[in-house]
Amino acid sequence: MQFLNRLGLILLWLAAPLVAFAAANKNDPYLLVLRDTGNIALVVASILIVIVLLRRGRWRSIAGKLLVMLWCLPPLLMSAAHLKFELRKRDVLTASAAETRQLGPHFMVGYSSFPEIARLAEQGLIGGVYVTRPNIRGRTIEALRAEIAALQDKRRAAGLPPLVVAADQEGGIVGHLAPPLTKVPALATLTGLAPDDQQAKAEEFGRIHGRELADLGVNLNLAPVLDLKPPQRRNRLDFHTLIGRRAIASDPVVVSTIASAYVRGLEESGVGATLKHFPGIGRVRADTHHFSANLDTPVKELEATDWLPFREVLSHSRSALMVGHVTLTAVDPDRAASHSKRVVQGIIRDKWNYQGVVMTDDLVMGAIYQNDVCKAVVEAINAGVDLLLVAYDGAQFYRVFACALEGSRLGRLDAAMLHASAARLQRLVMPGLVPGIHVLGAKRQGVDGRDKPGHDDENTSNFRRAKL
């Protein structure tokens, strides 16, 4: 029994700092699994342990007093963290109308609480929402469809533009709404077919995704992946990027062919595409979900290989472009591409003359969040990024928006860049997003801004049914 008592005390000494650390960082995205009921359990466990220690007389010794004090810390630290979160949240929710109009349209947010996201949507604090697996788990597709329609109704009632509603349906291992939506094979499965068959099947996959997403009320798909398939095995610590299983092929021509057809299918069904993850993560071994990563390939080599699919698909579609969190060392060795002006403005805008929508990858990813996230937010806006994505943990929106608010109040945001970005978002004519515009019958605009002929499609009516 004495041995068990000593073992229990040792475990309590070891656990106390860990629990205190978790309590102090309760709002960290890495501790999302402990949120709500987990936090309550930590507090209750800490209080019970303190009571047990006191009843057993541990307070009589100096070591016992220290142990009791250590176990008193978690509730206090958690209360302080919660207060900090609530103060930041209040600052965001009470932002002035001018600040909201200026910054709100640039944020796309994932959510778990409908009342909370509805409030953000009504106040104009966001320009888009991201729906994923937790939004459909344990629910019917009809319930999610009604929820999205309700959000759009609230926007209309508030006199605000419709929300961009995004989902992540790539096919293969990434299909966050499948089931209940159709589970479509990865585009990589088409590489063994003849070119004509590749295009036909890819377009069919795009139409399947497009029809189902449009019917749900989603108007932007965060697909396809245009990164080239890596020639070697990925880092064993890569648990989330898994680009070797998501990329279409290692040949840029094959990637362009299949991706272009897939995007056609999406657009014909009334859903916009998002090309990702520029400047390319196929050559990168580190997982940007958790770590910073460098892309050390010379620009000329990237232009002749990795970037060909991006330029090709952008020139024949209205796709948005997602910029990843890798550092393109040959262009800007000091910051990730997602908030680099040299990359976004210098290459995408000036060199390619692409005037469509540019968005970041999820700002909750470790490559950004574990560094100076406020600096990244301000730099992304000043670089000409149009949409800042907060997907995995929607609660981090308040921190990210507070960063933008602080940058605005301190005069650190580039007014000219914000104005240009606002104009791009106002021109945003993703299928079904702007009432009264038949996007698929409108002219297409290439990378260089020149108009290309389009065509009408009966599926545009899907968006009217989805109240978009």
Structure tokens, 390: 């907060």
**Cα atoms in the Cβ-side hemisphere of radius 13 Å centred on 108:** 30
Structure tokens, 395: 């609660």
3-state SS class at 170: strand
Residues in the chain: 468
In terms of Cα–Cα distance, which of 332, 301, 317 is closest to 266?
Answer: 317
Structure tokens, 124: 């104009």
Over the Cα atoms of the chain, what is R_g? 24
Distance CA 281, CA 219 (A): 26
In terms of Cα–Cα distance, which of 109, 44, 46 is closest to 360?
Answer: 109
Distance CA 229, CA 251 (A): 8
Q: Which of 176, 289, 290, 325 is catalytic?
A: 289
3-state SS class at 177: coil
CB 321 within 8 A of CB 221: no
Distance CA 285, CA 243 (A): 10
Distance CA 347, CA 388 (A): 19
Determine the Cα angle at 270 with ends 267 and 272, to 5°: 55
In sequence order, which residues have a C-beta less than 8 Å from that of residue 73 and are 6 or more positions away?
16, 20, 23, 46
Distance CA 396, CA 394 (A): 5
Q: What is the DSSP string of 261-281?
A: HHHHHHHHTT-EEEEEEET-S
| CB neighbourhood size of 268 (10 A) | 20
Q: Which of 28, 238, 306, 361 is catalytic?
A: 361
Let me know if 361 is a catalytic residue: yes
Distance CA 420, CA 131 (A): 27
In terms of Cα–Cα distance, which of 278, 263, 290 is closest to 203?
Answer: 263
Q: Which residues are catalytically annotated?
A: 289, 361
